[in-house]
Structure 1
Amino acid sequence: MRDCAKTELAQSPRFFERGGMKKIILKIHEIIGLLTGVVVLIVSLTGSLWVFNEEINNLVYGALAVPVRNQQPLIPSAAKEIASKVFPGKSIHGIYYGKANEPLEVIFYEPEPEFYSSVYLDPYSGKILKSENHLEGFFAFLLEGHLGLWLPEEIGSEIVKVSVLLFMIALISGFYLWTKGKNKKRRLWFDWNINTRWKRKNYDLHSIIGFYIFFLAFIIAFTGAVMAYDWFYYIVYKGAGGEKDPRFIIPNNVSIGKNEEMQTRIDELLPILKGSYPDADGYEIHFPHSDSSSIYAEVYKKKGIYYNADYLFFDQYTLEEINTPSLYGRAEDADFADSIIRMNYDVHVGAIGGIAGKTVAFFVSLFCASLPVTGFLLWLGKRKK
C-alpha cells in the first residue's frame, strides 16, 4: 500500500509542484559531481594551460628563425635524407614548410610503439638546427593528463571519455536547478558583505559561475566528446546533414600502375602549392604510403587555425589533383556539416577566435575546474548539517 501511494504521488502533478522533480535532478547532479569531480578538475586545469602551448613555448624557448636567402628551399627528398640520419629507421609523417625565415620541420610518427618527434633544418643549407621529442616536456605531460589522467591509456582515456559525457549532463542539470531558484536576481551577481557566511559565498561561487559559463563550458565539453567518441562524431556530422565520408581518406593514384619509367614527382609539388597559395602560412607535404597511394598535402592559411586548411591529393607520378570522398578536402567545398566537424578542434581550444578566443577558453576552463571544488564543499556542508 505504501509503495502504491508513493507511485501515485510521483505520477501526480502535485509531486512536481512540490519540487519532486527538482529533488531528483539535484540528486543526479550531486551524484555526477561526486563521480566525476576529480576528473573534471584535472581535465579542466590541464586544458586551460594547453590552450596557450604554442605561445608559451615560443616565449620560453624562442621561435627558431633562419636568415632568408634568395634561393629555393630543400626539396622533400633531400630533407628526408638529412633528417633520417637523426632518427634512422623511423617513419616520416610529413615535411612542413613555413615562412621564408622559418626552419623546415621534418615530422616523424609511428603509432606502435608511439614515436613522435621532429627535426628542424635550415631550409636553404640543410643544417640540422635541433630535434624535438613531442612526447616529452611540460606540455606533453599536460596533454597526457588531459587525455588520460596519467593512467594507462586503455583505462585513463575511457574514464575521461565517460566523464566528459557526464559533465555535459551535470551542466544541463545545474542550469535547470539555477532556473528553479527563488531569487534569480541574487543568483546573477555576488552580493557579499562582511556578514556573509562562507557557505553562502561558496554556494554563490558554484551557482553564479556555473550559470555564466554554462553555454561555453557545454561547447567545450561537446567538442571534446566529438573528438573522444567515433560514434558521437558520426552522429553530430550526420545529424547536421553531412553527406560525405566523415573519415580522412587518402585516395589512390589515378595513373595506371607503376613501371620503371614512372618515378614519384613529390619534389616538384612545393612550387605548385606556392603558386596556388602564395599567401599561405605553411605547407605540409606527406610522402605516399605505397606505390599506389597519392601524395597528400595540407595548406594552412593562418598559423594556429586548422578549420580552413585545404587538404589536397595528387597522383604521385603525374601530379594530377585527385578528389577525395572525405569531408577533408578543399575548405571552399565544405558545407555546413563539414564546417562543424572541421572547426571542432579550433572551437575546443578557442583558436577559432584568435588570442581573444583562446583567452576565453582559458578562463572558462579554469572556472570549470572550480565547479567540482565548490560543489564538493556544498555536498560536504549538507552532510555535516
Structure 2
Amino acid sequence: MTVKNIIRQLHLWLGLVSGLVVFVVTLSGAILVFEDEIEHLASRELYFVTPGHARLPLDSLKQQAQSFDPAISLTRVETAPHDAARTALFYGKKDKTTYLIAVNPYTGAVIKGIPEETRFFRVVLRLHRYLLANEAGKAVTGVSCLIFLVLVITGIVLWWPKRWKYLRQRTAIKWSGSFKRVVWDVHAIGGFYVHLLIFAMAFTGLTWSYKWFNNGIFQVFDGKPMTPYKVPPNQTIQPAGSGFYEQVYRQANRELPYNGKMVLHFPATDSLSVSVTKENYTAKIPNIVDFLYYESGSGRLLGKRLYDDQSTGMKVRRAVYPIHTGSIFGWPTKVLALISCLVAASLPVTGLLIWLKGAKGREPKKIKRKRFIFRRVPQTPV
C-alpha cells in the first residue's frame, strides 16, 4: 500500500468517526458568527430604548433590577456609555441559574427578566462547545477538533495534483459532470478554498477544549505559564453609600474615555474591590479590554490592568477569540467565517456520499467464464 493510500484510508475513517460531531459543531458555529447582530434584531426590546432627558444613577437601576426578584444575587451590569439608546443589562444568579434583567436607564422600568440558559444563542453555544452534554460533550468536541485538523491536512494532501497541468481541474467544479463527480468536486475543491480558514478556527478552538493548549500560548510567547490575576482586596472595609456605583461608573469612564462596552462587577464579598472592564471599540481588532479596580465604599482606584501593559502571551490569547469567531477584522472576515463554516458543515455530508458511492462501486464483479467450444475434427481415411 502506497503512502497516499494510507493517507486516504486515514482521511476516510477519521471522517466517518467524527463526521456527525463536525457537522453539528460547524453548523452551530455558522449560526454564532452573526450572533450579536441577529440577537439585537430579534430581541430589540432587550437592548434598545428611546433615549430620555437624563439617565438615572446606576445605584437606582441596580435597585430596580433587584426588585424583579429579590432572590436573585446580582453579579454584574453591562452598559454602553457611548450609546444613549442602549439598556442597562444586569446579570445575576439564583439556584445555579443565570438571569438577564434589562432595565430602561431613563425610567428605571424593568423591561424583561429571563433565564440566560434558555435563550436561543446560549443553547446554540452550549451545543457548539459541549453538544449539550457538559463535560462529556466537551471531551467529544475536543477530540473531534483534533481529528478535524488531521482531516484538513490529509485532505490537502489528497487534493494535491500530481502534475501542475491538472491544477485547473482541481480548482473548478465541473457542474456538468456526473452526480458522483460533482459531489467529489464540491468536497475536495470546496474544502481546498476554505482549508486555511477552517484550520485556523479549529486550531484556535482547542483553547476552550484543553488547558494544556491554553497554557501553551503563554509558554510559547512569554516563556512561562499564565500568571493568574486576583482582584485586589479592599484596604479599608466600609459600606458602600448611596450613589457609590454611579461614582465608580463615572470615574471609570473618565479613566477610559474611549467608546466601548463597560461591565461593572459587583463584589462577591465585602473584602473584595469592585472590578470594571471596558472593551475598546476604537481598537483595530475586537476583544481589547482594560481592567480597573476600585475600593468598595471609598471608590478609590486600587489598581489597573491595561491592555497595552499586558504580556505578549496575553495579547495573543486576547486575539484567539476574534480569530475563532471571524470577527477579527469586522464584517469582511465574518462573512468569510460564515461561508467557511457552511462549507465545513458540508464536508461530512459529501464525504459520506463519496464513500457510499465508492462502496457501491467496490462490489465484487462477476467473473465471466469463457465458454470452450469443442469442435469435432473430421477423421481422414487411412
Q: TM-score, normalised by structure 2?
A: 0.84
Superposed displacement of residue 318, structure 1: 4.3
Q: Within the alignment, does 1:342 sit opposite 2:326 as a pair? A: no
Pick aligned residue for 2:270 from 291, 298, 322:
291
- C-alpha distance in structure 2 between counterparts of 1:261 and 1:233, whole Å: 37
- C-alpha distance in structure 2 between counterparts of 1:261 and 1:246, whole Å: 31
Q: Within the alignment, does 1:27 sit opposite 2:6 as a pair? A: no
Pick aligned residue for 1:313 from 270, 279, 293:
293
The residue that corresponds to 1:13 in the other structure is none
Q: Secondary structure at the match of 2:344?
A: helix
Is residue 238–residue 298 contact of structure 2 (8 Å, CA) maintained in 1?
no
1:115-264 pair list within 5 angstroms:
115-150=97-132, 152-179=133-160, 181-182=162-163, 183-193=166-176, 196-241=177-222, 243=224, 245=226, 247=228, 249-253=229-233, 255=235, 257-258=236-237
The residue that corresponds to 1:358 in the other structure is 334
* Compared CA separation, residues 306 and 131, structure 1 to 2 (3 A): farther
Deviations 1:106-152 (A, max 9, x none): 11246xx54122111121331112223321143233223212223x3
Amino acid at match of 2:188: S
* Worse-matched range after superposition: 306-315 or 200-209: 306-315
Is residue 240–residue 297 contact of structure 2 (8 Å, CA) maintained in 1?
no
Cα RMSD of the aligned pairs, angstroms, is 2.7
Amino acid at match of 1:301: N
Deviations 1:70-126 (A, max 9, x none): 435322x3333221222322222201122222111111246xx54122111121331
The residue that corresponds to 1:12 in the other structure is none
Deviations 1:237-261 (A, max 9, x none): 32133657354x3322251x53679
Unaligned ranges ≥5, structure 2: 362-382
Is residue 139–residue 209 contact of structure 2 (8 Å, CA) maintained in 1?
no
Superposed displacement of residue 282, structure 1: 2.6
* Compared CA separation, residues 117 and 187, structure 1 to 2 (3 A): same
- C-alpha distance in structure 2 between counterparts of 1:377 and 1:289, whole Å: 54
Q: Within the alignment, does 1:43 sit opposite 2:25 as a pair? A: yes
Deviations 1:31-75 (A, max 9, x none): 110111000101111110111122112223335433434435322
Q: Secondary structure at the match of 1:310?
A: strand
Q: Secondary structure at the match of 1:59?
A: helix
- C-alpha distance in structure 2 between counterparts of 1:272 and 1:260, whole Å: 19
Is residue 314–residue 321 contact of structure 1 (8 Å, CA) maintained in 2?
yes
- C-alpha distance in structure 2 between counterparts of 1:58 and 1:289, whole Å: 30
Is residue 57–residue 243 contact of structure 2 (8 Å, CA) maintained in 1?
no
* Compared CA separation, residues 259 and 57, structure 1 to 2 (3 A): closer
Q: Secondary structure at the match of 2:188?
A: helix
Amino acid at match of 1:130: K
Amino acid at match of 1:216: L
Is residue 216–residue 364 contact of structure 1 (8 Å, CA) maintained in 2?
yes
* Compared CA separation, residues 302 and 36, structure 1 to 2 (3 A): same
Pick aligned residue for 2:56 from 73, 80, 83:
73
Pick aligned residue for 1:374 from 345, 350, 373:
350
Deviations 1:328-360 (A, max 9, x none): x31222343222111211221111221222111
Q: Within the alignment, does 1:268 sit opposite 2:247 as a pair? A: yes
Deviations 1:202-224 (A, max 9, x none): 11111111111111001111111
Question: Whose radius of gyration is greater, 1 or 2?
Answer: 2
* Worse-matched range after superposition: 160-169 or 90-99: 90-99
Superposed displacement of residue 297, structure 1: 0.7
Pick aligned residue for 1:97 from 79, 84, 108:
79
Is residue 281–residue 300 contact of structure 1 (8 Å, CA) maintained in 2?
yes
Superposed displacement of residue 369, structure 1: 0.3
Unaligned ranges ≥5, structure 1: 1-18
- C-alpha distance in structure 2 between counterparts of 1:181 and 1:319, whole Å: 69
Q: Within the alignment, does 1:107 sit opposite 2:77 as a pair? A: no
Q: Within the alignment, does 1:86 sit opposite 2:65 as a pair? A: no
- C-alpha distance in structure 2 between counterparts of 1:206 and 1:246, whole Å: 44
- C-alpha distance in structure 1 between counterparts of 2:99 and 2:239, whole Å: 34
Q: Secondary structure at the match of 1:135?
A: helix
- C-alpha distance in structure 1 between counterparts of 2:260 and 2:297, whole Å: 27
Paired residues, what number?
Answer: 355
Deviations 1:2-42 (A, max 9, x none): xxxxxxxxxxxxxxxxx722122222111110111000101
Amino acid at match of 1:117: Y
* Compared CA separation, residues 244 and 67, structure 1 to 2 (3 A): farther
The residue that corresponds to 1:14 in the other structure is none
Is residue 252–residue 292 contact of structure 2 (8 Å, CA) maintained in 1?
no
- C-alpha distance in structure 2 between counterparts of 1:101 and 1:85, whole Å: 23
